[in-house]
Structure 1
Amino acid sequence: MTVSPQIVTVFGTGNQAGAVARALLADKAGRFRVRAISRHPDSKSSKQLVIEGAEIIHADGWNQDELTKAFTGSWAAFVNTNSDDPQFLAPGNGPTEFDLGKNIVDSLIAANVKNLVYSSFSSSMKQTNGKLFIKPQEMKYQALEYAKSCGHFEFHCGIYAAWYYEQFLDLPTAEVGGGFPSIPDDEGYLTLRVPVWGSDENPSFLSIGNDFGDLVHGILLDPGKWNGKSIPAVSDVMTFEQLTNVFQKVTGKKSRYVPLSSWEDFGRGIPEMDDHRLLFAFTQSTGGRYFGDVPTETDTANELKKAAAEAQGKVGSRAGLMPVEEFFKIHFVS
């Protein structure tokens, strides 16, 4: 008996949404059809997803009628909103990321979509007893809490992305962080200069391209098991010193970690770094617990990756989470 594929609609065509779309499209049993919502269906990322088998629907995230139409007929949705959108970074009383998230959730309800995976975060206020308000964290957290409070969704869960491996490929990010892993300092070292993380749990890292989509695929293969859960999306866990040691081992290039004396020194004088700077204040306050009530671990991600890999027919190293060492080998070894 042939089962009709279920439509999963992803909001956007960027890093996270694109990864989710590709993972679902790789399902060997054809369990899913993928629809992607884009303001720019003629963009390079949208056109690439069409080539790979996705349907692209034009809709603006602020237009509830367009969104409702785009979501209609979907079994599930994956939603990630862009915290770095200039409209959310501008001073004043403009629209917030929560406002956008609420509009998306209201549209999902209007379209009678019953299953939701939301890219979210733990509450900075809750985890620090009101000491820290980190806007992107709080807006994403509140949007997911709003979705839960509506009582509409049969299944919902939040997935929390760790520090992207792919950020190591971005030169402006390297400049802010001391130069690692691309720009040698005056002593010839590739130096990572960021604040200490926390006293108990180590930093976590994630391959968006290799693992994130598979984790969402794993969730949607057995949504009842993950209902109401907070999923740490993690590929590898290690200290910053271990990170630079791994890079030196893989590339042979002199690398080191030099901690900044204060979290306030990270990206000092760059307004766009304000929230990123506060992230280190957050992890120092929580003992390094980036995911809030959820401990830093890879067991959950390993389980989800295994399920998705089996569904996609992946074998060997491709069936497991990508270690940071492998990412460095691929991108930094000639």
Structure 2
Amino acid sequence: MNEQKKIAVAGATGSQGGGVVDAILADPEQRFAVRALTRDPSSPAARALAARGVEVVQADFADEPSVVAALTGVDGAFLVTNFWAHGSAARELEEIATLARAAAASGVGHVVWSTLEDTRDLLPLEDPRMPVLQDHYNVPHFDAKGEGNAFFAAAGVPTTYLNTAFFFQNLAASAMGARREDDGVLTLTLPLEDGKRMSAVDVSDIGRTAFAILAAGDEYIGRTVGLAGDHLTGAEYASVLSDVLGEPVRFRSIAYDDARRSGAPGSDEFGNMFQYYGDFDAEFTGARDLTSLRKIVPGLKDFRTWAQENVALLTAE
């Protein structure tokens, strides 16, 4: 029997990395073993992975030797950074540079890098339509990842660039989902212009897609894969919710500036992000061809399927 190849998974205790772990372990052919990278192998989430037979190793993105050691001896890797752990684009760029150098030093044969578009490619900072954040960015958690793509290329790491999208999970009732207003009607309120389509995806499908890319060998090395499960307008998201929940759900669009002024944590960032979705909806959705994606992952979920499977998330506030 051939020895299993091994895939290292960064962020294995989080939503994206956890989805990759699930996809690898669910493979009926059991072609790959998993090495889970985590800052704290003693955490409950890390211990739960170990209980599933996953090799768990310590790796801190602020400690490059630990990342090199964690990536040594693996055939492939899924790499992701968590901007929201600190909120700094400059720090995220440092982490991405560490990952790229470590992947090169350890000789990983194929990296799937979870990334996003650099919005500055379409929207120069000089454009007055949105405020510049952190001195250099329109949407820091997009732009830092997009800028960091070049680190993998410069280091000579065989890489697939997986451009993700807004998560369906963000439309849960506990997040940005529909809320019941004073008149009793469920209302989905987003800073998305009427008629503009927004790409979104089940976060678990990031894992399934990354695994499919790694399992395909060299086919996707050097390529960018734009990921989404659906492209819908705000009214269409509300219509699906209405069908699934069995009661009317209306959509209300709010202005980008109002979103930026809301005072909620990260409001500037989210206002800019939604404006990017709206102003460049054709480019963003066009970079995510649903037909081609479903050839990579036949079970890629659309929003209706995800909503039907997650009614509890849509109703629990």
TM-score, L = length of structure 2: 0.87
C-alpha deviations, 1:36-90, integer Å up to 9, x for none? 110121223222222223111012111111111111101111111011112528x
In 1, Cα distance between equivalents of 2:222 and 2:194: 27
- Segments of 4+ moved more than 4 angstroms: none
Q: Distance in 2 between matches of 1:128 and 1:222?
A: 34
Identify if the C-alpha distance between structure 1 residues 4 and 101 changes in structure 2 by more than 3 Å, giving closer, same or farther. Answer: same
Structure 2: any 5+ residue segments left out of the alignment?
A: 128-136
Map Cα deviations across residues 191-243 of structure 1 (whole Å, 9 max, x no partner). Answer: 122223587x621221123x221111111122422122221221222211011
| Aligned counterpart for 2:288 among listed residues 286, 296, 299 | 296
Q: Aligned residue for 1:317?
A: none
- Paired position in structure 1 for 2:142: 137
Mapped contact 2:93–2:144 kept (Cα < 8 A): yes
In structure 2, C-alpha distance between the alignment counterparts of 1:170 and 1:34, rounded to whole Å: 33
Paired position in structure 1 for 2:131: none
Instruction: Using the aligned pairs only, state the percent identity.
Output: 21
Whether the 8 Å CA contact 1:191–1:256 is kept in 2: the answer is yes
Q: Secondary structure in 2 aligned to 1:238?
A: strand
Q: Pick one of 122, 126, 148 that aligns with 1:127.
A: 122
The equivalent position to 2:276 in structure 1, one of 262, 276, 282, is 282
- What does residue range 95-114 of structure 1 map to in structure 2 within 5 Å? 95-114=90-109
**What's the TM-score once normalised by structure 1's chain length?**
0.83
Kindly indicate whether the alpha-carbon contact (under 8 Å) linking 1:38 and 1:57 is maintained by their aligned counterparts in 2: yes
Q: How does 1:251-270 map to 2 (within 5 A)?
A: 251-260=245-254, 262-266=255-259, 268-270=262-264
Q: Which amino acid aligns with 2:234?
A: F
Distance 1:87 1:321, change over 3 A: closer
1:226 maps to: 220
Q: Cα distance, 1:141 vs. partner?
A: 1.0
Distance 2:282 2:51 in 1: 41
What is aligned with 2:304? Answer: 325
Do the aligned residues in 2 keep the contact of 1:198 with 1:283 (CA within 8 Å)? Answer: no
For residues 165 and 68 of structure 2, what CA distance do their matches in structure 1 show?
A: 30
Alignment of 1:31-70 (within 5 A): 31-70=31-70
Partner of 1:10: 9
| Post-superposition offset of 1:271 | 4.1
Tell me which amino acid in the other structure corresponds to 2:47: K
- CA RMSD for the aligned pairs? 2.1
Check 1:160–1:168 CA distance in 2 against 1; reply closer, same or farther (3 A cut): same
| Code of the aligned partner of 1:298 | L
Q: Figure out how many residues of one structure are paired with residues of the other and give that number.
A: 301
Aligned partner of 1:137: which letter?
F
Aligned to 2:132: none
Tell me the equivalent position of 2:134. Answer: none
How has the CA–CA distance of structure 1 residues 61 and 31 changed in structure 2, closer, same or farther, with 3 Å as cutoff?
A: same
2:305 is aligned with what amino acid?
E
CA contact (8 A) 2:198 2:278 kept: no
